Amino acid sequence: MMGKPITGKSFGGCVRYMVNKPEAKILSAEGVRMQHANAIIQDFNMQRKMRPELGKAVGHLVLSWSKEDLLKLSDDIMVERAREYMEKAGIRNTQYVIVRHNDRDHPHLHIVYNRVDNNGKTISDKNNFAKNVIACKEITLKYGYHIGEGKDLVNRQALKGREKVRYELYDAIKAGMKTATNWKQLEAQLARQGITIAYKFRSGTNEVQGISFEKGNIKMKGSAIDRSLSFVRIDANLNRNQQVQQYHAAREANQPFMANQLRESIRQSVQAEYSHNPGVGKGLLEVLLEPQFVAGPPDPMGDADIARRKRKKHEAEHSQSQGISR
C-alpha cells in the first residue's frame, strides 16, 4: 500500500474531482452529507469557518494498492484500511469523505478531510511524509499486501560503504528535483548536504554530455546511481518544474491563455517522459491532472490568510508613512 498526502485551499475543486468522476463511488463519510458534491463542499466550508485564518484547510489523501491485492479489497475493507491509516497519521475527530475510483488497473481511493477538526482545532500537517511512510508500511506488513520493488522500499539503515552513499545521493537528488527549477538551485540544495556536481562536456564545446555526483571521497555517475538521474532526465525535470512555476504565476495573474499554453507544454513533456520511463511519467501526469492544477472558481475562505497578510503589510506601510510625515 502506498499513500500520497496533499494539502490545498479549495474544497470545491477537490471534492468535485473525487465525487463527479465517472465510476466514482462514495464509500463512507463523517460529518458531511453524501447526497452530492455541493452538499459535501458546503458542509466542509461551514466547519472551516471556525478557523478562517487557515488557508490550507483541505486535507487530501490518495491510498493505492498493487493490482495483485485487488481480490483482498472489498469496499468495506478499503474503508477500514482508510480509517486505520487516518488514525495512525493523527487525522481524528474531523469531517471526511472516502471515495473509490475505478479508472486504473490498481485499486485506489481518495480521502478528503477537514484540517479544522470538530472542535475548531487545526490538524497538523507537520511531518506528513514521514507519518505517511510509517502508516503505509505498518498496514502493508500487517495485512500482507504486495510490496513492489524499488529504491524507495530499500532499508537504508542496513546499507554500508559505497552502496550507502549511493542511496544517500539518490535520496538527496530526488528531493532536490522536486523543487529546483534550474541547475544552480539544485547545486545549492545538494551543497548543503555535502554533495557536489561535476559536469562532463563534449570535447571542445560547452555542451554537457554527462554528469557525476560526489560525496566525501566517492564519486558516481548520475545514471549509475539510477537511470532517472542522467543529465538529460534531470535537465528535463528542472525545465518542467520551471514551467509549472510559470503556470501557477500565469493563473495568479489571471492569464488563462498563457496558463493553457504552459499546461499543454507540461503535458507533452510528461508524455515524452512516459514513453521512455512509464513509472516516472505516469506519476507526473497524475500529479499534473489533479484538482490543484485545474482552474476553478476562487474560494474566499481559502484566501483568508492571504488577505490577512496583505492587510497587515498595508497597515505597517501606512503607519511608517505617517511617522515620516510627522
Instruction: Tell me: pLDDT of 48 over 90.
Output: yes
pLDDT band, residue 316 (cuts 50/70/90): low
Percent of the chain with pLDDT over 70: 79
pLDDT band, residue 108 (cuts 50/70/90): very high
Query: For residue range 205-234, what is the model confidence (pLDDT) as tens digits?
Result: 999 999 999 999 999 999 999 888 999 999
Between these two residues, 266 and 8, which has the higher pLDDT value?
8
Between these two residues, 128 and 111, which has the higher pLDDT value?
111
Q: What is the pLDDT of residue 238?
A: 92
pLDDT band, residue 268 (cuts 50/70/90): confident
Instruction: Tell me: pLDDT of 114 over 90.
Output: yes
Instruction: Tell me: pLDDT of 62 over 70.
Output: yes
For the chain, the average pLDDT equals 84
pLDDT band, residue 252 (cuts 50/70/90): confident
SS (H, E, C) 139-191: HHHHHCCCCCCCHHHCCHHHCCHHHHHHHHHHHHHHHHHHHCCCHHHHHHHHH
Please list the residues that pair with 174 across neighbouring strands. Answer: none
Q: What is the pLDDT of residue 311?
A: 63
pLDDT band, residue 51 (cuts 50/70/90): very high
Between these two residues, 144 and 122, which has the higher pLDDT value?
122
Q: Is residue 131 a contact partner of residue 106, using CB atoms and an 8 Å limit?
A: no
Burial code (b: 16+ CB inside 10 Å, e: under 16) for 176-206 equals bbeebbebeebeebbeeeebebeeeeeeeee
The pTM for the full model equals 0.51
Instruction: Summarize the confidence of residues 172-186 as an average pLDDT.
Output: 92
Instruction: Tell me: pLDDT of 297 over 50.
Output: no
pLDDT band, residue 256 (cuts 50/70/90): confident
Lowest-confidence segment of 125-139, 263-277, 312-326 by average pLDDT = 312-326
Report the run of H or E that residue 28 belongs to, with start and end.
strand 25-30
**How far apart, in whole angstroms, are the C-alpha atoms of residue 31 and residue 26?**
14
pLDDT band, residue 278 (cuts 50/70/90): very low
Lowest-confidence segment of 26-30, 108-112, 241-245, 265-269 by average pLDDT = 265-269
Q: What is the pLDDT of residue 285?
A: 45
pLDDT band, residue 133 (cuts 50/70/90): confident
Secondary structure letter of residue 13 according to DSSP: H
Between these two residues, 128 and 186, which has the higher pLDDT value?
186
Neighbours of 162 (CB within 10 A): 9
